[in-house]
Amino acid sequence: MHAISRRDLLGMGAGAAVTALGIAGCSAPGPNGAEKVKSSVQARPRLIGDGSTAYYGPQPHQPEAPERLEPGQVPPQFVVFSWDGAGEVGNGLFPRFLKLARDHGAAMTFFLSGLYLLPESQRHLYTPPNNPPGASAIGYLSDDHIRETLSCVRQAWLDGHEVGTHFNGHFCGAARTSVRHWTPRQWRSEIDQVMDFVTKWKTHTGFTDLAPLPFDYRTELVGSRTPCLLGQENLLPTARELGWRYDASSPGGLQMWPRKKLGIWDYPLQQIPFPGHPFEVLSMDYNILANQSKKSTKAPPDNYPGWRRQATDAYISGFRRAYETNRAPFFIGNHFEQWNGGIYMDAVEDAFSHIAHERNRDVRLVSFRQLTDWMDAQDPEVLYKLQRIPVGERPGEGWNAYLSAA
């Protein structure tokens, strides 16, 4: 993967306005929305630091304590939809997918970029490793868009979603400036700055009229995805020191049950069937785009209907291969973008709705954190047997006999 410009990543000026989507913003409407959620958290939260964050009590809409698989029990089919950056820039994509998840009772993971809460006027506060102070490959948001992002991140947590991190400046490529070359100590510096930007946004922005983010980020943050899926090897020692529980930065993983690296769950984006091609594609919007339009985000529109169907079918094919065979958790990564007329966002919604409508008690649309809770609750011998089942296969003797012997 290559570096993505801020304009491409966020789709600035490239699509429908919020009102065109019929979405008023990131508040949850109706009897099952904001009022019900607010009643389940503390009325008087405990402010943290400058009041940018606060402890509101346990997060709403979380599943019950995860159960262990019984001998011979078929494992659930977990599906995780995740979002890199998680900035709202007035195109309505963040609220659009919050509403979609709410409509289906699903959870997702939002990997927030710390710079999306730092005004450009304060860019000097960011000192990225191997880069000049204030540098960023994705730029900074306007004050209005910072406000919108804060509102959406707040609502996401209240809706039961996870807030992870996509770090800050999104430095990719092969140059020395890239995260590819950062040392564990440099990753620690980047993470410390992430924490600073998320927990001190009131100081940095001067916004005094907004409610705090309703979580303690020091305990909320347990996982990440690196820019362009680079630099995981040197990140993991630091992540382990911080007590993080997973990382979702590995590229090109197979659709098999996850394993740990350095004691941390490794959740890779996966190779999935790519209809019409003899090869497979990584389960992320950017990689599908790269194979369809050679990385062009404004290809000829005549291609859009076919590409949308192909992207949708790729996600559904990946889901079906897992669900009908080894039941490996299925991971899909996205950006809030409007590339090629927004067809990849439409494809994600189509695939999400298809999976949700097929859902029964065996299919769970969860966050990475919720998946990690389940994985940690399992018998290691059972997990070892699950991890040995190849892509596209199921136990030859059947689930009952295979897992009963664990």
pLDDT tens digits for 66-97? 999 998 899 999 999 999 999 999 999 999 99
| Strand-pair category, 162-165 with 109-112 | parallel
Q: Of 40-44, 146-150, 169-173, 376-380, which range is least confident?
A: 40-44
Percent of the chain with pLDDT over 90: 85
- Is a pLDDT exceeding 70 seen at residue 21? no
State pTM to two decimals: 0.92
Q: How many angstroms separate the Cα of 153 from the Cα of each of 166, 233, 395? A: 14, 29, 41
Say which residue the tokens 């394993």 belong to: 259
Encoding tokens for residue 391?
A: 């892509």
Encoding tokens for residue 135?
A: 């540098």
Q: What is the pLDDT of residues 251-268, one digit of tens each?
A: 889 999 999 999 999 999
Q: Give the confidence band of 318 by pLDDT, cuts at 50, 70, 90.
A: very high
Burial 157-176 (b: 16+ CB within 10 A, else e): bbbbbbbbbbbbbbbbbeee
Query: CATH second-level architecture of 78-114+142-163+230-404?
Result: Alpha-Beta Barrel (3.20)
- pLDDT value at residue 13: 29
377 contacts: CB under 8 Å, gap ≥ 6: 65, 66, 67, 68
Q: Give the confidence band of 396 by pLDDT, cuts at 50, 70, 90.
A: confident
- Is a pLDDT exceeding 80 seen at residue 310? yes
Q: Is 2 left (phi over 0), alpha (psi -120 to 50) or beta?
A: beta
Name beta bridge partners: 280: 273
Distance from C-alpha of 113 to C-alpha of 138, rounded to nearest angstrom: 10
Distance from C-alpha of 33 to C-alpha of 102, rounded to nearest angstrom: 9
Stretch 111-116: mean pLDDT: 98
Q: Where are the domains of the chain?
A: 78-114+142-163+230-404
